[in-house]
């Protein structure tokens, strides 16, 4: 199946399912849907950032969350987060849920559930999804987002700002 033909839940502004549609239909029509963003930390407390592959239909070549992706039809946010960790980074983990961001322009009209996880094993970045990736100190990422925001996917910037404001990244 082509990525554009994947089926996702269409939701309302309260994140209640109102139907289903293909990825293509959802993005072309600006329909509300669901996604997950997961920040992965190493034992030194550094955050893994991924640089999106150039074949991505949205924000190719931009820095983004450690792992992120749509919630498939019939999937929960937590199941999607576990699937994305394995698909994109080769990590099997049960991530920790922190908050949800209501669908808006910056998120691409996605209700975003935010999770964190720890890499207890080596990351094996999927080259179909990720062209580069590295662990970085939170302070450096924070400065980078302020001074060069255009190199980041907008959803990442919003998630990072909210995680910082809630003290999640300062633990």
CATH number at residue 136: 3.90.79.10
Q: How confident is the model at residue 42, as a pLDDT?
A: 94
What percent of the chain has a predicted confidence (pLDDT) above 90? Answer: 87
Q: How confident is the model at residue 4, as a pLDDT?
A: 67
Q: Token pair of 126, please?
A: 């999927």
Mean pLDDT of all residues belonging to the chain: 94
Distance between CA atoms of residues 136 and 152, nearest Å: 15
Express each pLDDT in 13-69 by its tens digit: 999 999 999 999 998 999 999 999 999 999 999 999 999 999 988 899 999 999 999
Domain of 70? 3-170
Q: How confident is the model at residue 170, as a pLDDT?
A: 76
Is residue 92 classed as helix, strand or coil in its secondary structure?
A: coil
Q: How confident is residue 2, by pLDDT bands cut at 50, 70 and 90? A: low
Distance between CA atoms of residues 129 and 16, nearest Å: 29
Cβ pair 5, 20 in contact under 8 A: no
Q: How confident is the model at residue 72, as a pLDDT?
A: 94
DSSP string, 104-143: -GGGTSEEEEEEEEE-SS-----TTTEEEEEEE-HHHHHH
**What does the DSSP 8-state code read for residue 71?**
P
Return all residues near 95 (Cβ < 8 A) that are at least 6 apart: 38, 78, 81, 82, 85, 115, 116, 117
Express each pLDDT in 54-94 by its tens digit: 998 889 999 999 999 999 999 999 999 999 999 999 999 88
First to last CA, the chain: 41
Distance between CA atoms of residues 147 and 136, nearest Å: 16
Express each pLDDT in 97-128 by its tens digit: 999 999 999 899 999 999 999 998 889 999 99
- How many structural domains are present in the chain? 1
Q: What are phi and psi of 72, to 5 degrees?
A: -70, 160
């Amino acid at each position: 199946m082509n990525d554009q033909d994947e089926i996702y839940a269409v939701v309302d502004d309260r994140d209640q399912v109102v139907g289903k549609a293909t990825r293509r239909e959802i993005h072309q029509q600006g329909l509300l849907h669901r996604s997950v963003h997961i920040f992965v930390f190493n034992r030194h407390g550094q955050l893994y950032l991924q640089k999106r592959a150039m074949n991505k239909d949205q924000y190719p070549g931009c820095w983004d969350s450690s792992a992120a992706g749509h919630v498939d039809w019939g999937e929960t946010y937590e199941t999607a987060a576990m699937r994305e960790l394995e698909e994109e980074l080769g990590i099997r983990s049960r991530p920790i849920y922190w908050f949800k961001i209501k669908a808006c322009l910056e998120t691409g009209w996605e209700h975003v559930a935010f999770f964190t996880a720890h890499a207890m094993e080596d990351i094996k970045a999927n080259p179909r999804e990720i062209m580069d990736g590295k662990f970085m100190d939170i302070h450096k990422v924070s400065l980078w987002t302020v001074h060069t925001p255009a190199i980041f996917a907008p959803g990442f910037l919003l998630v990072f700002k909210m995680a910082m404001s809630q003290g999640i990244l300062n633990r």
